[in-house]
Structure 1
Amino acid sequence: MAHYSGYKLGTLLVRYLGLPLLAGKLTVKACKPLIDRVVGRITSWKSKSLSYAGKLQLVVSVLYNLSQFWMLIFILPKVVIRAIEKLCSDFLWEWVRVLRKKQL
């Protein structure tokens, strides 16, 4: 139909409340802003000297709620959920790896 009418097909690149407005199924590429926000928060926190309890509180209250906001609207792909969980886990357990390296 688009071919006969002369119109070009495009994508809808509109955001509302930080979420992309999509006409179809949510893709991994469309979830990149969510992953970028999680990475940005984690990198800003890594410069601070936080205890395990402080890191846990930040992960639970900020990062999981950020992804939960997206999950209220969309069904996130498993790849995105696993990537967010891995980022949170790496941030939370980083001190254990540092201690193990010092012991070796």
Structure 2
Amino acid sequence: MGARQQSCCEKYLGLPITVGRSKYNSFRVIKDKVWKKLQNWKNQFLSPPGKEVLLKAVIQSIPTYYMSVFKLSKKLCKEIAAQIAKFWWGYKKEDSKIQWRSSTKMGVWKHGGGLGFRELESFNKALLAKQC
């Protein structure tokens, strides 16, 4: 008939079927995907509005599908937010740039004096509450 038989069933629709005791290890794939995208963009010279659009449209949408089904660990959300902040402020291995806003201020609305990025932990809670 042409149907494929799959012997190992670890993922369904891109999500893991079973999550072990450590949610951090189960969803570390998200952090790796974000890191790979950011590494591809580091060599390009982007204006601040260009960086903002890429971070808000692409990077913050990567964990959204996972967040709508599972509650991610605080550690993972903080590490992804740290990667976003490092890219935003122009982090390089040999240079240490000053971060002019704290990571909590980056999640505040623009009208409130922040940068308008999502707070991943509260966004995760909102998506799970939407399911209820």
TM-score, normalised with respect to structure 1: 0.73
For 1:97 and 1:23, the matched residues in 2 are separated by 37
1:97 corresponds in structure 2 to 97
Q: Is 1:14 matched up with 2:10?
A: yes
Greater helix content: 1
* Counterpart secondary structure, 1:83: helix
1:6 corresponds in structure 2 to none
Q: Is 1:41 matched up with 2:37?
A: yes
2:54 corresponds in structure 1 to 58
After TM superposition, the runs of 4+ consecutive aligned structure 1 residues lying more than 4 A away are 23-26
Ranges in structure 2 where 5+ consecutive residues have no aligned partner: 1-7, 99-132
* Greater RCO structure (CA 8 Å; 6+ sep): 1
User: CA shift at 1:26, angstroms?
Assistant: 6.0
The aligned amino acid for 1:82 is K
Q: RMSD over aligned Cα, in angstroms?
A: 2.3
User: CA shift at 1:17, angstroms?
Assistant: 3.1
For 1:43 and 1:94, the matched residues in 2 are separated by 12
For 2:39 and 2:10, the matched residues in 1 are separated by 27
For 2:13 and 2:21, the matched residues in 1 are separated by 18
Q: How does 1:69-84 map to 2 (within 5 A)?
A: 69-84=65-80
* Counterpart secondary structure, 2:58: helix
Percent of paired sites with the same residue: 26
For 2:59 and 2:72, the matched residues in 1 are separated by 15
For 1:21 and 1:93, the matched residues in 2 are separated by 37
* Deviation sequence 1:14-63 (CA, Å, 0-9, x none): 12333222155661001111110000000001011111111111110011
Q: Is 1:29 matched up with 2:41?
A: no
How many pairs does the alignment contain? 87
